Amino acid sequence: MVSKADRVVLIGVGGDSGCGKSTFLRRLKDLFSKELVTVICLDDYHSLDRKQRKETGITALDPRANNFDLMAEQAAALKSGQSIQKPIYNHETGKIDPPERIDPTPIVILEGLHPFYDKRVRDLLDFKVYFDLSDPIKIQWKIQRDMAERGHSYDDVIRAIESRRPDFSAYIDPQKQHADVVLQILPSELPEKKDGTKKIKAAMVQVEGIPNYDPPYLFDRAISDVCWKPNFPNSDPELTFCYGTTDYFGRPASYLSIDGEFAPDDSPELEQKLRNTSETRFGELASLILKHTDYPGSRDGTGFFQVLIGLKFRSIYEALIAQSLAAAKV
């Protein structure tokens, strides 16, 4: 666990509903004690309640249903160490509740649909992560959750995804071009599972030149495009782990990808081939996977990369705190 300091580090975690943001935030709890972190759900900045959105036909994804002036003002206040009176959007009633007081902690995470939409907010963020879920996986996860846990029918789920698609494409998806690290969750290129469910290929894209971020890579940084098929006895025989360079919206970037499923017990061996993980002890990444094998994604690249992003985020946080302490001494 890292220690407390004065500077407020502001993090943005973006992506559509159901793309794994909460699972990622749950994993961060292993790395930061709870007094260090405040999570702000940006749904609280909805300016139109559910009834108003229904009447006007404006969705929650549409910027017109969100108060970016207030979001920017309050993000700036938190970053400069001031408390705010944050509105609350109540998902049970669909109404906007009276505001609550939020006091800044050393880390404030803005998570939700629009963390990078407004330039004023975007420019305040010290690290930006976007969860980019491809459509077939979005459908699969939503069906699993909304049918099993929320009593929705298959048709309801598909209708809900379809009705969000135009505004998702117009306002949410384009934000990924502003992210520092993007976790892409794609259908596997390997043969399907016997039950017909899709395996996952996860790719962690890391834009070059992120302050305080030394990108992890596979084997050797000098080898820029490499794939490894480990052939673990209890994992997918075709499991493939790759590292390469790419272009992300005109910015040079590198990526790590894992295609296929692995037994969590094999994660130490996967981790051994990675460099620059920002672990504080050897084997930390795998031990964090093994600690929560019940979390979704613990058998594929989604969980593995969520933990890796968490470790990198911790090292950014520590670097920023060290810099602010050094500046305070001058």
Report in angstroms how near the CB of residue 53 gets to ligand 5RP at its nearest: 7
Q: Is 86 helix (H, G, I), strand (E, B) or coil?
A: strand
**Residue whose structure tokens are 């939503």:** 142
Matching residue, tokens 């964090």: 288
- Residue 243 CA to residue 219 CA, distance in Å, equals 9
Partner from ligand 5RP, ligand ATP, none contacting 291, C-beta within 5 to 8 A by type: none
C-beta of 7 vs 300, nearer to ligand ATP:
300
Contact predicate 43/66, CB 8 Å: no
Burial class (CB in 10 A: 0-12, 13-18, 19+), 64: exposed
State the nearest-atom distance from the C-beta of 308 to ligand 5RP, in Å.
Answer: 24
CB of 276 to ligand ATP, least distance (A): 23
Smallest gap, in angstroms, from Cβ of residue 220 to ligand ATP? 29
Give the one entry of ligand 5RP, ligand ATP, none that residue 161 binds, where binding means its C-beta sits below a cut-off of 5 to 8 angstroms depending on kind. none
**Please, what is the minimum distance in Å from the beta carbon of residue 18 to ligand 5RP?**
8
Query: Do strands 217-218 and 226-228 pair parallel, antiparallel, or not at all (unpaired)?
Result: unpaired
60 binds, among ligand ATP, ligand 5RP, none (CB under 5 to 8 A by kind): ligand 5RP
Within 13 Å of residue 99, how many CA atoms lie on the same side as its CB? 14
| Binding site residues, ligand 5RP, CB under 6 A | 17, 43, 50, 60, 91, 94, 112-113
Closest CA to 310 of 19, 107, 138: 107
23 binds, among ligand 5RP, ligand ATP, none (CB under 5 to 8 A by kind): ligand ATP
Nearer to ligand ATP, 157 or 253 (CB): 157
**Residue 205 structure tokens:** 């894209």
**Which residues would be at the binding site for ligand ATP (CB under 6 A)?**
15, 17-23, 141, 144-145, 296-297, 302-303
> Quick one: 61 or 181, whose CB is closer to ligand 5RP?
61
Answer whether 42's CB lies under 8 Å from 112's CB: yes
Instruction: Please give the Cα distance from 138 to 187 (Å, whole number).
Output: 10
24 versus 217: smaller Cβ distance to ligand ATP: 24
**Minimum CB distance to ligand 5RP, residue 170 (Å):** 14
What one-character DSSP code corresponds to residue 248?
E
